Amino acid sequence: MHFNIPVVEEQIDMLGGRFAVYHVYLDGLLYCKVKYSDMYKWDEELRRIFGDCLPPFPPNYYLSMTETMEDERRLLLEQYLQKVSANSSISTHDVYTFLRKMQQETFKIPIQNCVLEVLLPDGDKVTADIQSSDPAERVLEIVFCKMELPRHMLGYFNLFLVEGVSGGQYSVLKRLAPFELPYVTLKSVNDEQCRIMIRKSYFDPDIDRTVMENSRGLNLLYLQAVSDMGMGCWTPTNKQLLKLRSLQETGQKKEFLEVAQQVKHYGYMQAEACICEHPEPNSPTVVRVGFEEINCCAKLLSNQAEETSFEISKVKCWSVRLLGTSTRNPSEEGDIKLEFSFEYCYGNDTWKWITIHTHQAFLLSTFMRQVQAEHAAKNLDLFEEMKIEMPDLQIKTKQSVPQYLKTDKARSTLTRIKSAVRGIKEDSVFEGIEDKDL
């Protein structure tokens, strides 16, 4: 999750006093608007539970603040949200009631019974009877129940905010956070083309085998695979395409997926058209993120295409940055531009930053974090096998529980997840995470 506060709005109360309202963004979209006093009360409640575990909270000033002091407070509040959400001991506790309430109040959505249509990847719908205050994790459970999917697969799927594009296809805007209110999020974007969709939330192709053991899980994977192929997210050869179409016509879903898994870029998530500074500045590029690589296919000035594969294992860190935003003018929120950058090792200790300009920068960052977590999980599985020959070897770290790892096999290794990813720390200007937080 990426919290940031790019905009501060000044308002006047009934007595003529001025106060600031902070526009809190979550993964690139406006999540809620809060006052400092509300955040201060929330921090007091958290400190009664967690004490010194919490990061410092910006101090309260009783005299008028200068513009520099106001901007410093904005940055400190931003860092506070980032660190609270990143701290595993805090995030496992139900501390997001305040944020859910703020999201609901910001967009003036009353708590009420409602119907939410959740799209399947093929455009079909599942109707879920929910409350407007139900968080994404609760809505996902309701959808699973409606689709008769087994609960142990909850960690393999997630709800996404998507936007309709030409041809009846959909582009992914963001993955919903577990505490986020899907009904309110959908209303807040105020776009008839936006929908909530259920999709798989992992990249490791080996996990497909587990999901395919269940007929309903198999069907959901099949629907997404057909949709992604239609979007051009993965590109079969002519021979593979003929085989896939034949299997699709005869309804052989498992066989279709088995062939699809052999296709280049199968299981990758493709971003919309963007601009990359590699291999030439301002190159129109198609970016795909997979389990092993970030794949960039750029169109050069010579009108030729050049494809570059950046191995995930050689990515040191990455960041998301906001460009061209005014922190004192809410009317310019729509002018916010984003870039996603990662530092890559070309060998012999040669490092280079690769920059991609895209409105899906936060989504790419989310995908990168997911891939790194899955790699860490695989490394831990390997470690468990090696541990049979080294019974005295133990590692003790803080506990971290990625949602998709909640299986019986993985549960015993979760306390060591942080040590496995210590060498691949995200360096985001919005995260503000230091080594001690890991």
Q: Could you say which of 155, 182, 201 is where a domain stops? A: 201
Write out pLDDT tens, residues 45-59.
Answer: 999 888 888 889 998
At residue 428, does pLDDT exceed 60?
Answer: no
Residues 6+ apart with CB under 8 A from 163: 170, 171, 173, 191, 193, 194, 195
Tokens representing residue 300 in the block:
């050069």
pLDDT band at 404 (very low <50, low <70, confident <90, very high): very low
Report the alpha-carbon distance of residue 243 to residue 260 in Å, rounded.
Answer: 10
Averaged pLDDT for residues 397-423: 39
Calpha distance 97→32 (Å, rounded):
13
More confidently predicted of 298 and 414: 298
Structure-model confidence comparison of residues 395 and 345, the more confident one: 345
Query: Is residue 277 a part of any domain in this protein?
Result: no
| Domain-embedded: residue 275 | no
Same domain, 102 and 131: no
Q: Is the model's pLDDT at 422 over the cut of 50?
A: no
Q: What is the DSSP letter of 156?
A: G
d(CA 155, CA 392): 32
Sheet holding 113-119, edge to edge: 125-131, 113-119, 194-200, 157-164, 170-175
> Within this chain, do residues 403 and 389 fall inside the same structural domain, yes or no?
yes
CA dihedral (13, 15, 18, 20) positive or negative: negative
The strand pairing partners of 249, in sequence order, are: none
Give Cα separations from 347 to 203, 311, 324, 351 (angstroms): 26, 12, 34, 8
Question: Model-level pTM greater than 0.95?
Answer: no
**Count of Cβ atoms closer than 10 Å to residue 56 Cβ:** 10
Tally of domains in the chain: 4
Residues 85 and 130 in one domain: no
Boundary of a domain, candidates 63, 80, 106: 106
Whether the pLDDT of residue 281 is over 90: the answer is yes
CATH code, domain carrying 167: 3.10.20.90
Domain extent, residue 232, equals 205-264
Q: Is the dihedral of CA 410, 411, 417, 419 positive or negative?
A: negative
| pLDDT > 70 in the chain, percent | 83
Residue 263, pLDDT score: 95
Answer with the one of 56, 91, 106 that is the final residue of a domain.
Answer: 106
Would you call 229 helix, strand, or coil by DSSP?
helix
User: Domain check: are 210 and 194 in the same one?
Assistant: no
* Same domain flag for 182 and 241: no
List the CATH number of the domain containing 252: 1.20.80.60
